[in-house]
Amino acid sequence: MAKEEVVKVLGFWVSPFVRRVEWALKLKGVDYEYIEEDIFNKSSSLIQLNPVHKKVPVLIHNQKIIAESFIILEYIDETWKDKYTLLPQDPHERAQARFWAKFAEEKITEAAWNALCSFGDEKERAIKLTIEALQKIEEELKLKGKQFFGGERIGYVDIAVGWISYWLPVWEEVGSMKILESQQFPAISSWMHRFINHPLIKDNLPPRDKMVVYFKGRRDVLTSEPHGWLRI
Ligand X SMILES: N[C@@H](CCC(=O)N[C@@H](CS)C(=O)NCC(=O)O)C(=O)O
Question: Which of 19, 32, 69, 115 contacts ligand X by CB under 6 A?
Answer: 69
Give phi and psi for 71, each to the nearest 5: -65, -40
Site for ligand X (CB under 6 A): which residue of 26, 55, 218, 219?
55
- Out of 39, 111, 117, 126, name the contact with ligand X by CB under 6 A: 39
Specify the stretch interacting with ligand X by CB under 6 A; choose among 49-57, 118-126, 172-180, 214-222: 49-57
Of 68, 109, 53, the residue nearest 232 (C-alpha): 109
- Does position 68 interact with ligand X (CB under 6 A)? The reply is yes
Q: Which of 76, 48, 71, 51 is nearest to 61 (CA)?
A: 76
Which window, 53-61, 77-85, 165-173, 219-227, contacts ligand X (CB under 6 A)?
53-61
Q: Which of 12, 149, 156, 215 binds ligand X (CB under 6 A)?
A: 12
Total residues at interface with ligand X (CB under 6 A): 12
- Contact partners, residue 179, CB within 8 Å, separation at least 6: 112, 115, 127, 130, 131, 134, 168, 172
Report d(CA 75, CA 93) in Å as an integer.
Answer: 18
In whole angstroms, give the CA distance from residue 118 to residue 96.
Answer: 32
Question: Which part of the chain contacts ligand X (CB under 6 A), choosing from 12-20, 115-123, 152-160, 183-191?
Answer: 12-20
Round to whole Å and give the CA distance between 54 and 58: 9
Binding residues for ligand X, rule: CB under 6 A, are 12, 15, 17, 39, 54-57, 68-69, 231-232
